[in-house]
Amino acid sequence: MAKFPIENYDGIALANLVKSGQVHRRELVEAVIDKIEAKNPKINAVIHKMYDSALKEADTTDLNEGVFSGVPTLLKDISQEIAGEPITSGSKAFQGYIAKEDSEYVKRVRKTGTIIVGQTNVPELALMGITEPSLYGPTRNPWDLNHTPGGSSGGSAAVIAAGIVPFAGANDGGGSIRIPAAYCGLFGLKPTRGRTPVGPLYGRYWQGASVEHILSKSVRDSAAMLDELCLPEKTSAFQALPYNGSYLKCVENPSSKKLKIAYSIDSPINRCVHQDCQQAVLNTVQQLEEMGHQIEEKTAPIDGMAIARSYIMLYFGEVSASLTLQEKTIGRKVSSDVEPTTALLKALGKAYSAEEFVLSLREWDKAAIAMEHFHETYDLYITPTTALPPATIGELEPRTMEKLLMKTVSRIGLGGILKKTGFVDEIVQKSLERTPFTQLANLTGQPAMSLPLYLSPQGLPSGVQVMAARGREDLLFEIASILEKTDQWIDLSKLQ
């Protein structure tokens, strides 16, 4: 008997079939399990399977409540803790850790009626725009198995693009929702800082740069999930401006108001932007102009290199603190357990002062204030999501000599010396050359999304990033819902 064709539906459509009795939850879970077993050996996106608990939940849960009642999904192997299940953050240093309780994000996802079937692959500590941890191996892009699906939510993006589930757990601390969305032809929205929960382990995850949400094949699934996630969290260090409407209704009944929209196709760190990534934006703004929106080429009023340096400083501090805390937990050093790049970031984290970290945070505020003024004139700001198409698997792996240097620096504590040589600016340029556009929204706290509006002649997706003022996810959902109906929107059925 053929399994249910789950790839033909988004989450809301599947839930409606469950609620109307046209399909049983178990059928959906079995369809997802069948697809994981058939497709995961090629894409390596699912690193932990929860089949038994998912089937049991499908059989024993009778309630048809919840916007996603009975819809199977997978969560990301970092910060989305599931009670009694491992969560490794893609690192050997965290192997063996079992979550003691559901994170607040997971609790709210469960309340929508979803059934969790497993966990998806991430780069070590979710640090990269690719998903190639040494612990689990690389995840591959379903559009072309020789290429990366991006990161850090690369595993989640791959399972959606492969037609395994309609949406999956994701989070975004510097582009980790939007970059995989761009590379895999998906919709990915990073909400406003403080809009979604980060507890109970954190009050300020990555100093507020990182937020939780999902990646999805449809705009309405993302909107419906955000409606469920956006209840206030008392323990959070940040609270977004309240939104009293429904994001799903924004998608279903978008406003006809004409917007003033700025766009730029130039890299904020003055590096090359591939013609496909530029063309994706140019095609989009042309279509928006034809719809009657006012379009102006205008670069955001921020110092791109200052933003990039501040973002890399966050890496240094967070990696160093995370690994130091883990060493205290397990009672030993973790240097031999982590990848060379991670060890180098830890060493550099110890080389910077508290004063330098605070000054870096003030760059965030400076940029946030500048962007608030910018959005007094412009409703939306459009850029490419990435500057370059997806890298091939292994392309960004450090060379042997680079790994040796990283290990030496971390082992004998040369972070302070490297700091004085200009090496940090080299890290900035190399790390963000491919993805220089996404970090701004994380540091300013703005909502931003990637739209799947361009397929290259080589058959690889490129994304278009759209940013709005803090608290204005409604504007993003409205414009996304309109563009989703156009011929530019990538049709995933051609892939599956």
The one catalytic residue in 69, 156, 176, 236 is 176
The one catalytic residue in 79, 103, 152, 210 is 152
Helix-helix angle 423-432:304-330, to 10 degrees: 100
Q: Please choose, from the candidates 180, 378, 203, the residue with its C-alpha nearest in 3D space to the C-alpha of residue 298.
A: 378
Q: Does 493 participate in catalysis according to the annotation? A: no
Q: Which residues are paired to 80 by β-bridges?
A: none
Q: CA–CA separation, 268 vs 301, rounded Å?
A: 10
Give Cβ neighbours of residue 361 (< 8 Å, ≥ 6 apart).
Answer: 207, 310
Q: CA–CA separation, 61 vs 436, rounded Å?
A: 45
Q: In what order do the strands lie in the sheet with 46-49?
A: 46-49, 115-120, 72-76
3-state secondary structure of 486: coil
Token pair belonging to 372: 């608030």
Q: Does 152 participate in catalysis according to the annotation? A: yes
Q: Please choose, from the candidates 450, 451, 442, the residue with its C-alpha nearest in 3D space to the C-alpha of residue 470.
A: 442
Give Cβ neighbours of residue 320 (< 8 Å, ≥ 6 apart).
Answer: 345, 346, 347, 348, 349, 350
Q: Does 3 participate in catalysis according to the annotation? A: no
User: Is it true that the peptide bond before 149 is cis, omega within 30 degrees of 0?
Assistant: no
Give Cβ neighbours of residue 259 (< 8 Å, ≥ 6 apart).
Answer: 293, 294, 379, 380, 475, 479
Token pair belonging to 272: 């090359």
**Burial classification of residue 89, based on how many CB atoms lie within 10 Å of its CB (0-12 exposed, 13-18 middle, 19 or more buried):** buried
DSSP category for residue 92: G
Indicate left, alpha or beta for 163 from its phi (over 0: left) and psi (-120 to 50: alpha).
left
3-state secondary structure of 148: coil
The one catalytic residue in 76, 190, 217, 346 is 76
CA distances from 470 to 160, 213, 216, 466, 467 (A): 28, 16, 22, 13, 9
DSSP category for residue 2: P
CA neighbours within 13 Å on the CB side: how many for 5?
4
- Looking at the annotation, which residues are catalytic? 76, 152, 176
